Amino acid sequence: MTSLAASTPPVIRHPIEPEAAPAVQLEGAGLTYESKDGALEAVAPTTLKIRAGEFVALVGPSGCGKTTLMRIIAGLIAPTVGRAQVFGDSPQVAQQRKRLGLVFQEPALLAWRSVEDNIRLGLELNPRETDTGMNIEELIAVVGLTGFGRYRPAELSGGMQQRVALARALAIDPPLLLLDEPFAALDEITREQMRYELLRLWGVSHNAQEPPRSAMFVTHSVAEAVAISDRVLVMSPRPGRIIADVPITTPQPRRPEHEHSDRFINNCAIVRAALRAPTTPAVPLDAA
């Protein structure tokens, strides 16, 4: 795979705009499930901000509420405390304006639709006159699936299916990508390629009317998080809360060879240390 680094084009990244409305803003947003046996706190009240144009990774142990936090941001589940805002509005407004591009761990494609019809799905649903959208043919080329437009998802490999899911999310040209462990189901080799694929796709130019594109990337992999993000947020075990905010100092644009640099290794060490730190006191700090 050594030739891969040389063939990677530079990633064009969006400018971070501190002045614009943040892409994501959580103000004490948390989620507690009520049941007969008592309350189960899935996500502790969380405050975080993702600036427009920023690529943020969220790492944490299994079951710490990363996916729940992402579903809160996407407006798929309402926080029981606090509030979530996306580009200064409620997540529902972001849904209505099609500002969210969701990618999941599994490709979750419609089995009965061809690749191109799957990619088109977001444009067909809730159609609006203001939809700019992207040229589907071009998008298929960008994700490297030229010639596979008429294939059914079942005819593609796992990596190809996940690229279809990425293209589907990008088709509506969203200013915010929400990626929930998108490469977790892929083999290690495909996975390492997909990191830089994702960065490149994320950088694909988009509607100038919208804020610069931001991304929130949930992952288990420290190396993956450090390789592609501007900032890594570390979550504690359940009830999840953000225990570290690590700026990544590796130079931009990111390239595979950066993964061998001292800076990269240092950044990974900081994130790993945060993950190892004793985090959840037996008695909540503010309860005492």
Smallest gap from Cβ 265 to another protein, in A, equals: 26
Please report whether residue 61 would count as binding another protein according to CB under 8 A.
no
Asked if 21 contacts 211 with a C-beta cutoff of 8 angstroms, the reply is: yes
Please report whether residue 135 would count as binding another protein according to CB under 8 A.
yes
Task: Point out which span in 22-30, 35-43, 47-55, 142-150 binds another protein (CB under 8 A).
Answer: 142-150
Smallest gap from Cβ 107 to another protein, in A, equals: 9
Report the alpha-carbon distance of residue 130 to residue 133 in Å, rounded. 9
Please report whether residue 111 would count as binding another protein according to CB under 8 A.
yes
> For residue 223, what are its two tokens?
């190396």
Please report whether residue 193 would count as binding another protein according to CB under 8 A.
yes
Asked if 233 contacts 175 with a C-beta cutoff of 8 angstroms, the reply is: no
Please report whether residue 88 would count as binding another protein according to CB under 8 A.
no
Query: Which of 33, 63, 89, 112 lies at the binding interface for another protein (CB under 8 A)?
Result: 112
Smallest gap from Cβ 112 to another protein, in A, equals: 4
Report the alpha-carbon distance of residue 98 to residue 126 in Å, rounded. 9
* Residue (20 or 108) nearer to another protein, CB: 108
Residues touching another protein, count (CB under 8 A): 57
Question: Given the DSSP bridges, would you call strands 55-59 and 231-235 parallel, antiparallel or unpaired?
Answer: parallel
Start-end of H helices in the chain = 2-7, 66-73, 91-96, 115-124, 136-142, 158-171, 188-202, 222-228, 262-276
Q: Give the dihedral of Cα atoms 216, 221, 222, 227; nearest 10 deg.
A: -60
Please report whether residue 182 would count as binding another protein according to CB under 8 A.
no
* Residue (32 or 95) nearer to another protein, CB: 95
Closest CA to 193 of 256, 140, 141: 256
Q: What is the per-residue binding string for another protein in 195-234, x denoting contact by CB under 8 A?
A: --x--x--xxx-----------------------------
Sheet strands side by side (includes 38-50): 38-50, 24-35, 81-86
Please report whether residue 121 would count as binding another protein according to CB under 8 A.
yes
CA quadruple 105, 62, 176, 76: dihedral positive or negative? positive
* Residue (245 or 257) nearer to another protein, CB: 257
Please report whether residue 5 would count as binding another protein according to CB under 8 A.
no
Please report whether residue 134 would count as binding another protein according to CB under 8 A.
yes
Please report whether residue 147 would count as binding another protein according to CB under 8 A.
yes
264: left (phi over 0), alpha (psi -120 to 50) or beta: alpha
Please report whether residue 7 would count as binding another protein according to CB under 8 A.
yes
Please report whether residue 142 would count as binding another protein according to CB under 8 A.
yes
Instruction: Compute the C-alpha angle 268/230/173, nearest 5°.
Output: 135
- Give me the residues that bind another protein (CB under 8 A), please: 7-10, 12, 71, 74-76, 92, 95-96, 98, 100, 102, 104-106, 108-114, 116-117, 120-122, 124-126, 134-135, 138, 141-142, 144, 147-148, 151-152, 154-157, 159-160, 168, 172, 193, 197, 200, 203-205
